[in-house]
Structure 1
Amino acid sequence: MTLYIITCIDKPDALDLRLANRQAHLDYARAWTDKMLMGGPLLSDDGESMQGSMLVLDVEDRAQVDDFIANDPYGLAGLFASVTVRRYKKVLP
């Protein structure tokens, strides 16, 4: 098991772009559910607005993470200002 956290931050004022590509992104992400421990939007402090995405993938190697990122409709649409990937080790619970 090799876990990776992907954190994506939307470009400013990109909610319309996010919403226009949301269904394609969700359809794409569903194809990865066998490798995805969790995923969902990052929200504003008031919980009203989506501002990015966070996913935890359990994959063989970093190349699979890069493949996920390269083909995600959100990324292809230019939604993200930044994308970070970090290896993760689950300790608790």
Structure 2
Amino acid sequence: MPHYALHALDHDGALDRRLAHYEAHKAYLGGPLPVRIVVSGPLLAGDGETMIGSLFIVEAPDRAAVDAFHAADPFKAAGIWARVEITAFRMRQVALAQD
């Protein structure tokens, strides 16, 4: 099944809005989805702490499923992301690190 990368950058000053919708976003990701999430997590500012966006690597039958996944995310509905790029992704290597 094809993989896709979703790279989403927040609007400037969106951190409070992001935090207000964070639980809904996490609940959505934990529910039934039209894609399988391979990797996901927040993008961080240079301080290594402040969330400034989101990154997903997903497995999906097609681009339409990825678009449906993105469209239903509470962060999208809340207008948190200023820019979202969705691109096909060919996964070659996987190395999982522990937090």
Question: Normalising to structure 1: TM-score of the pair?
Answer: 0.94
Which string of whole-angstrom CA distances, capped at 9 and with x for unpartnered residues, describes residues 25-83 of structure 1? 00001124x70001000001221200000001101000110001111000000001100
RMSD of the alignment, in Å?
1.1
Higher helix share: 1
Cα displacement (A) at 1:91: 1.3
User: Hey, what does 2:65 align to over in structure 1?
Assistant: 64
Q: Are positions 1:18 and 2:6 aligned together?
A: no
One-letter amino acid of the counterpart of residue 25, structure 1 = H
Structure 1 residues not aligned, in runs of 5+? none
Give the equivalent residue in structure 2 for 1:79: 80
Gaps of 5+ in 2: 95-99
Identity of aligned residues (%): 38
* Cα distance in 2 between the residues matched to 1:29 and 1:57: 12
2 CA distance for matches of 1:84 and 1:29?
A: 19
Count of aligned positions: 92
CA distance in 2, matches of 1:78, 1:11: 8
Q: Which residue of 2 is the match for residue 2 of structure 1? A: 2
Please list every run of at least 4 consecutive aligned residues from structure 1 whose deviation after the TM superposition is greater than 6 angstroms: none
